[in-house]
Amino acid sequence: MIHSVLFVDDEVELSSSIMLALRNAPYTVETAVYGEQALKKLMTDQISVVISDMRMLDMDGNEFLDQAQKVCPDAVYMVLSAYSDIDSVMRAVNEQHVWRYITKPWQKEDLKLDIKNAIEIFEYRKAK
């Protein structure tokens, strides 16, 4: 199975740098600028890992994560954000079952390892 990772962030520069950093990865990388755009991708594409910002133009991260998990419950969810509202992040972790919180700026090798581990979790969930 070829895995897909979806990054949801309204910063186009961030999406470009992530695409560049992961260009040789053993999985496909998709991006979405808006939460609604990401939800549509989750409905049509097979996504293994979703990495979302907490602040987007059309909805906040918790709202997106809540809707996304209803559409794609088997995916592993992570948050990549510079947003420092710890209450919002903790809500995402506790209520939206976010597996990992990554702060911006991110480290390329750490991000690759987090994605690799998330894919392993996804495969474990699917094998059960």
pTM across the whole model: 0.92
Residues pairing with 60 in the sheet: 55
CATH code: domain 4-127 is 3.40.50.2300
Question: pLDDT tens digits, residue range 30-81?
Answer: 999 999 999 999 999 999 999 999 888 888 888 999 999 999 999 999 998 8
- Residue 112 to residue 23: CA distance in whole angstroms: 11
Query: By CB neighbour count within 10 A (0-12 exposed, 13-18 middle, 19+ buried), where does 110 fall?
Result: exposed
Question: pLDDT tens digits, residue range 79-103?
Answer: 988 766 677 777 777 777 899 988 8
Coil, strand or helix: which one is 92? helix
